[in-house]
Structure 1
Amino acid sequence: MEDQKLISITGKFTYVLFRSDQTMYTVAKFRTYDASEKTVTVTGSIPVPENDVLYTLSGSYVEHPRYGMQFQIAGMSVSLPSEKEGAVRYLSGASFPGVGRKTAQKIADTLGDDCLQQIRSDPECLRLVPGLSEKHIMTISEGIKQEDSGLDDLVRFLNISGIGYRNLVRLNRTYGAEALSKIRENPYRVIEECDGFGFATADKIAKSLGVSDDDERRLYALLVSACMDLCVSQGNSYVRYEALADDFQRRTAGLNADFDELLSQAVMKRQLIQEEERIYPVTQYDAEMYISDFLHQFPYKEINPCDMDHVYRYLDAMQDDIGITYDDKQKDAIRCLFDNPVMIMTGGPGTG
């Protein structure tokens, strides 16, 4: 490592794969705090890393013969991000194609911590940045115009709460200048109103705003999220009342939470649907109703039985023509299509 130039990466530890308490040698996953938000494997003798703390690691990338590319840690410190760092991350992000981190850093160094406000007020200030091309000036000017005001506040919020660049962009595009006021009003609204937000991220934002664990807004969002989590984990479109109540009580142990009152609110707001003992997330319920209505109204008609020998001869010819081969399961699925009025096919991408 001494012969290699040290570099620095900033981010958070997400998972410890291995740790020796005697030597402090640690192998962990580390998510970088930049526009890429990539996850890298890091190794080194370090103190126990804390959850949800921003660290700056110095070291170098090395190729492990068995485990591939890893970042070998030479030093570690808690990172205290500045407003300037937030501006650099923003300007080097996806909203400004072609503007890399070095260019963004040059802009921030030249214009200062309030560079985003300056650019929004007068894009011509970009001409003060040495060596900045006309293409970069146009890209940044147009990108800033597309993002509504309130951006500076969101950048500060990003640095305080560490919610990640992608979520910063989602919040700004959804709420614009009202982003922080909307979030402060109810941080859990982002689950329903912004793509890509789940309860964990919303709860993280709420905690940075000082929302208590027994806040009714939090308990309500937790209930709705718990219902969907149970459905997904069980592969069902609904969960039984008793199962949801037990799971919610487990998640809220020690808190003053009225399950039935919160469930009533969720049903009234049509975020959950209750049919007897069955509790549906509204998206699952609507999807199930759409499918059943579609099948009910489908114009069924009897067709003559199909000669499967003819079908298989056609498949053989097609396989030879386009250079593919169907396995036995795929052929069974094709036969099922001809033998049954309705067919449900599941599988990964490309199955259809």
Structure 2
Amino acid sequence: MTGSSRAERTPPARRPPFYMEDRTRIEGTLERIVFQNPENSWTVARIRDEAEDRLLTIVGRLPGVSVGESLRLAGKWVFNPRFGEQFEIESYEVKPPVTTIGIERYLASGLVKGIGPEMAKRIVERFGVESLDVIDAEADRLLEVDGIGAKRLAMIREGWGEQKNVRETLVFLHQLPIGPALAARIYEAYGEETVRRVRTDPYALADEVWGVGFQTADRVASALGIAKDSPRRAEAGVLYTLGQLSQAGHVCYPRAELARAAGGFLEQDEAAADEAIGRLLANGSVVAEELEEGHDLIYRAEMLEAEEMVARSLRGLLVSAPAGPSIDSHRALRWLEDSFDFPLGDEQKVAVEAGVDGRVVVVTGGPGTGKTTLVRSLLAILARAGEEVVLAAPTGRAAKKLEEATG
């Protein structure tokens, strides 16, 4: 009895909410763009799901889409505490609208110059589901529509051509091995020149579009049929290798060693990499400074410029910076060693004396090489001499570490 009562009170099974459904693909007609960020194309929109005829909220990057277009989306359901269930877009494909309702909404959206809601209605009433084909291939037939004369026809032709370029560009980008976010950035960087520029030199993406590195550009190039032994690939690989070396602290690198490193990375012989270096020298992408006869140091042009700027600034400081306090550095160093447990190596002692005597001192070194000990030593000596010291750091994190190390 008790068991059956419990069974009778058990609520019926409910369908899980949208965001828990096992659906990762949606197809439908874009009905409204609620919001679109013009800088990165991040969009909130409403789409009518073809499968269940319901309005869904979609979010993500959707460059170049317009109301009335049919979209095929891939992504996942998420739950927003404020806005509820949303479909988060991971990739998408734009399809021309195929129904008269979709075509009318598409044309009425203001997408094509010369066509507003009323004119869109007239065009669809005249040509039905063939309306887009007529605009695309037989535009002169639009003169059959009341209100369209030669001037408006020219405006429609121009507007349709612009939108056709956008659609073709998006189709081109979505065929490449990149996601929608990156496709949006590429389109934002190149605009109507996207297809031409990417086809001409996909490796330029690594220098010209934020978030694209050599590997991504290389995948795009491969998808476009560019061979692994392409001279342009070798040049891009040399620049990438120099960039990686700079992350390890090298502003330049000996030419022979660079050719060896780039060749290994590219899986090509050193000769091909060295030839690429020669071409990059010729076009100014890299520059060489002769270390000794027959041995050049190779810089990315901007790195040499930065190094020279630092050198000029240091030279200026050496001349213009006020002289330091009048402290006998030898006596100060002996006092430091007698008063504190600062075990200083020979190089550190030289650096302490230079810091006390000099106008400007540059200290470099990796972790654990004694930079913090050197700073603490200088602070102790200057405090003993009654000097007021100001410490500065380029980032908040670095400032915090400096404060913790020096007290």
TM-score, normalised via structure 2 length: 0.46
CA 1:217/1:274 → structure 2, altered by over 3 Å: closer, same or farther?
A: same
Match of 2:127 in 1: none
Distance 2:391 2:203 in 1: 36
Match of 2:195 in 1: 180
Identity value in percent: 16
For residues 115-126 of structure 1, what are the structure 2 equivalents within 5 Å? 118=107, 119-122=110-113, 124=116
Of 253, 273, 291, which aligns to 2:267? Answer: 253
Match of 1:294 in 2: 313
Of 160, 164, 169, which aligns to 2:184? Answer: 169
- The answer to whether residue 229 in structure 2 is matched with residue 214 in structure 1 is yes
Match of 1:198 in 2: 213
CA 1:231/1:244 → structure 2, altered by over 3 Å: closer, same or farther?
A: same
Distance 1:169 1:245 in 2: 35
Distance 2:246 2:14 in 1: 53
Is this contact kept in 2: 1:214–1:257, CA < 8 A?
Answer: no
- The answer to whether residue 307 in structure 2 is matched with residue 285 in structure 1 is no
Runs of 5+ unmatched residues, structure 2: 1-12, 50-54, 56-64, 71-94, 98-104, 121-158, 291-295, 328-371, 400-407
TM-score, normalised via structure 1 length: 0.53
- 1:292 offset after TM fit, Å? 0.6
CA 1:291/1:98 → structure 2, altered by over 3 Å: closer, same or farther?
A: closer
- 1:329 offset after TM fit, Å? 8.1
RCO higher in 1 or 2 (8 Å CA, sep ≥ 6)? 1
Letter in 1 for 2:207: E
What SS class does the counterpart of residue 351 from structure 1 fall into? helix
Match of 1:351 in 2: 398
Distance 1:336 1:290 in 2: 32
Of 379, 384, 398, which aligns to 1:335? Answer: 379
- 1:169 offset after TM fit, Å? 2.9
CA 1:97/1:200 → structure 2, altered by over 3 Å: closer, same or farther?
A: closer
Total equivalences in the alignment: 240
- 1:304 offset after TM fit, Å? 3.9
Distance 1:337 1:175 in 2: 57
Runs of 5+ unmatched residues, structure 1: 9-58, 61-73, 129-144, 307-327
What SS class does the counterpart of residue 161 from structure 1 fall into? coil
Distance 1:192 1:251 in 2: 19
Is this contact kept in 2: 1:154–1:168, CA < 8 A?
Answer: no
For residues 1-352 of structure 1, what are the structure 2 equivalents within 5 Å? 5=16, 94-95=37-38, 99-103=43-47, 110-112=68-70, 113-114=95-96, 118=107, 119-122=110-113, 124=116, 150-232=165-247, 234-253=248-267, 258-276=272-290, 277-298=296-317, 299-304=320-325, 332=376, 335=379, 349-352=396-399
CA 1:184/1:245 → structure 2, altered by over 3 Å: closer, same or farther?
A: same
CA 1:330/1:258 → structure 2, altered by over 3 Å: closer, same or farther?
A: closer
Is this contact kept in 2: 1:231–1:239, CA < 8 A?
Answer: no
CA 1:202/1:257 → structure 2, altered by over 3 Å: closer, same or farther?
A: farther
Distance 2:205 2:41 in 1: 26
Letter in 2 for 1:120: L
CA 1:270/1:102 → structure 2, altered by over 3 Å: closer, same or farther?
A: same
Q: Deviations over 1:197-223 (max 9, x none)?
A: 221121122122111111111111111
Letter in 1 for 2:46: K
Q: Deviations over 1:36-94 (max 9, x none)?
A: xxxxxxxxxxxxxxxxxxxxxxx77xxxxxxxxxxxxx799xx8x99x89x99x99764
CA 1:344/1:124 → structure 2, altered by over 3 Å: closer, same or farther?
A: farther
Is this contact kept in 2: 1:187–1:206, CA < 8 A?
Answer: yes
- 1:109 offset after TM fit, Å? 7.9
Q: Deviations over 1:8-46 (max 9, x none)?
A: 8xxxxxxxxxxxxxxxxxxxxxxxxxxxxxxxxxxxxxx
Letter in 2 for 1:215: S
CA 1:101/1:109 → structure 2, altered by over 3 Å: closer, same or farther?
A: same
Q: Deviations over 1:132-187 (max 9, x none)?
A: xxxxxxxxxxxxx9xx8643223212321142233223322322211111111111
Is this contact kept in 2: 1:187–1:205, CA < 8 A?
Answer: yes
Distance 2:231 2:118 in 1: 46
Q: Which range moved further: 210-219 or 250-259?
A: 250-259
